[in-house]
């Protein structure tokens, strides 16, 4: 039986997973990276109505309710998932488990094999990513407690950006704070790395050029990629900066935080506000989900979407300026891949850069969504963070990049 690699992307109420065959050939998109997908799905509704959702080819989905108790917490759901996977593998265990970890901080420029010291360091970054880091670390601890000899790999959303120039990396703050790690990290790096990896096959004419990638989802950011490397990003010290998101405000004058504190809000209350009660949710008063806002006749929904488009359009100009120009624009992630109205609006706002959208191709979600005469090309490329995690895990498993 081929070695398998399990990839886990854990949230507060769900655990996404994919099981890869380490020598399984090309993926569905044609990337001959030697990884075949055996199983993919998620355990969702943890703590409320837990269920196992398996995703097959195309739109095929199988849903299986979980017993109440095994879904009460992430560790319990993970234990259930582990037993279920073991049955699917005939009692065998995966050769390694790869995890998405949002913040690698100043300590980690690359993905690493997990030990107790790594876990302790990653714990210190919880205040920098309170929405994600605790959930990312929970399954690592649970698996380590049950199977301490199983290789686990932490793959960081910050790693792809850790070679930025000092000008892009710094804030205008005292040197001692920079040395403590207060700097611009950037996030969604696994997604951007996957897009950069796919460009030579999907769009070789722009793969070595100046590309702005828009990762637009519940969390949203833009990245300037030149010759396959990240040179600038809209996100900074935490995943609050840059574009407005589902429940996060994006770019915000620090004076607003000082004002809130002066009004009597403590740190935890401000944290709750900025991570859970801002963004599209706050602007619309309806929902943090773009699908709901697109379907709503409420003018507040239009305001929220208009603001999102406006800020994204401004950021595209900033990313282009960081590279001294732009050759292509790539849309990815949930909104970027599945909301043609949002893509169209953003692309039309980028006409001044040379983007000429093909409305038919955009509506159909084709690979290239600009007209043949468009000076700057625009593409829609589905991302696959789990595949990038599996590739990095396989490298460490093979000893090519030891911890």
- Three-state SS string across 187-208, please? CCHHHHHHHHHHHHHHCCCCCC
Looking at the domain assignment, is residue 183 inside a domain? no
**Does 212 lie in the same domain as 102?**
no
pTM of the entire predicted model: 0.90
**Does 358 lie in the same domain as 303?**
yes
Query: Which residues have C-beta within 8 Å of that of residue 39, sequence separation ≥ 6?
Result: 17, 18, 19, 54, 85, 88
pLDDT at 55: 77
**Does 138 lie in the same domain as 25?**
yes
What is the Cα–Cα distance from 388 to 247, expressed in whole angstroms?
26
Record the tokens describing residue 298, joined without a space: 């409420």
Looking at the domain assignment, is residue 173 inside a domain? no
Looking at the domain assignment, is residue 325 inside a domain? yes
What is the DSSP track for 67-134? Answer: PTGGGSSHHHHHHHHHHHHHHHTTT---SEEEEEES--TTT-SS-EE--HHHHHHHHTTGGGSTTTHH
Cβ atoms of 108 and 19 closer than 8 Å? no
Query: Which residues have C-beta within 8 Å of that of residue 334, sequence separation ≥ 6?
Result: 216, 217, 218, 290
pLDDT at 29: 47
pLDDT at 132: 87
Candidates 157, 241, 327, 384; catalytic one? 157
**Does 345 lie in the same domain as 392?**
no
**Does 355 lie in the same domain as 213?**
yes
Domain count, the chain: 2
Segments forming the whole domain that contains residue 48: 4-163+386-397
pLDDT at 38: 87
**Does 346 lie in the same domain as 314?**
yes
**Does 374 lie in the same domain as 287?**
yes
**Does 216 lie in the same domain as 157?**
no
What is the Cα–Cα distance from 381 to 312, expressed in whole angstroms?
18
Would residue 262 show up in a list of annotated catalytic residues for this protein? Answer: no
Looking at the domain assignment, is residue 170 inside a domain? no
**Does 365 lie in the same domain as 288?**
yes
Tell me the pLDDT of the chain (403 aa) as tens digits: 358 899 998 876 678 899 998 775 545 444 567 788 888 888 877 777 778 888 766 555 677 676 655 555 677 777 788 788 888 878 788 899 999 999 999 999 999 999 999 999 999 999 888 888 998 998 899 889 888 999 999 999 999 999 999 999 999 999 999 999 999 999 999 999 999 999 999 999 999 999 999 999 999 999 999 999 999 999 999 999 999 999 999 999 999 999 999 999 999 999 999 999 999 999 999 999 999 999 999 999 999 999 999 999 999 999 999 999 999 999 999 999 999 999 999 999 999 999 999 999 999 999 999 999 999 999 999 999 999 999 999 999 887 444 4
pLDDT at 30: 46
pLDDT at 210: 98
Residue with tokens 């002066």: 262
Looking at the domain assignment, is residue 90 inside a domain? yes
pLDDT at 3: 85
Looking at the domain assignment, is residue 19 inside a domain? yes
pLDDT at 177: 95
Looking at the domain assignment, is residue 391 inside a domain? yes
Looking at the domain assignment, is residue 368 inside a domain? yes
**Does 340 lie in the same domain as 391?**
no
We report the CATH number of the domain holding residue 341 as 3.30.420.40
pLDDT at 80: 81
What is the Cα–Cα distance from 8 to 101, expressed in whole angstroms?
10
**Does 228 lie in the same domain as 359?**
yes
**Does 234 lie in the same domain as 132?**
no
Torsion, Cα 113 119 124 129, to 10 degrees, reads: 70
Cβ atoms of 80 and 43 closer than 8 Å? yes
């Amino acid at each position: 039986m081929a070695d398998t690699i399990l990839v886990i992307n854990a949230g507060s109420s769900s655990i996404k997973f994919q099981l890869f065959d380490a020598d399984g050939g090309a993926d569905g998109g044609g990337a001959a990276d030697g990884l075949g997908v055996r199983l993919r799905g998620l355990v969702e509704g943890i703590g409320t109505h837990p269920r196992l959702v398996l995703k097959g080819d195309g739109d095929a989905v199988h849903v299986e309710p979980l017993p109440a108790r095994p879904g009460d917490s992430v560790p319990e759901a993970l234990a259930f998932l582990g037993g279920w996977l073991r049955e699917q593998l005939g009692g065998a265990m995966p050769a390694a488990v790869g995890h998405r970890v949002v913040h690698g901080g100043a300590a980690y420029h690359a993905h690493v094999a997990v030990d107790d010291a790594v876990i302790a360091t990653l714990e210190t970054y919880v205040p920098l990513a309170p929405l994600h880091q605790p959930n990312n670390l929970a399954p690592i601890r649970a698996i380590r407690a049950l199977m301490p000899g199983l290789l686990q790999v932490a793959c960081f959303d910050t790693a792809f950006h850790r070679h930025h120039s000092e000008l892009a990396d710094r804030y205008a703050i005292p040197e001692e704070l920079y040395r403590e790690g207060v700097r611009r990290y950037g996030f969604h790096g696994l997604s951007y790395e996957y897009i950069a990896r796919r460009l030579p096959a999907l769009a070789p004419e722009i793969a070595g050029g100046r590309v702005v990638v828009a990762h637009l989802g519940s969390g949203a950011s833009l990245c300037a990629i030149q010759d396959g490397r990240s040179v600038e990003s809209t996100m900074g010290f935490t995943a609050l900066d840059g574009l407005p998101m589902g429940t996060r405000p994006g770019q915000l004058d620090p004076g607003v935080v000082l004002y809130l504190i002066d009004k009597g809000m403590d740190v935890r209350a401000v944290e709750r506000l900025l991570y859970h009660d801002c963004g599209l949710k706050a602007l619309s008063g309806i929902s943090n989900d773009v699908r709901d806002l697109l379907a709503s006749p409420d003018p507040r929904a239009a305001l929220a979407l208009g603001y999102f488009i406006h800020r994204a359009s401004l950021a595209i100009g900033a990313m282009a300026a960081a590279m001294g120009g732009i050759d292509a624009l790539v849309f990815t992630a949930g909104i970027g891949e599945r909301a043609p109205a949002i893509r169209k609006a953003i692309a039309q706002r980028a006409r001044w850069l040379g983007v000429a959208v093909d409305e038919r191709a955009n509506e159909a979600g084709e690979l290239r969504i600009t007209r043949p005469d468009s000076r700057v090309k625009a593409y829609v490329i589905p991302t696959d963070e789990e595949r990038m995690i599996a590739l990095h895990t396989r490298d460490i498993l093979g000893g090519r990049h030891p911890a």
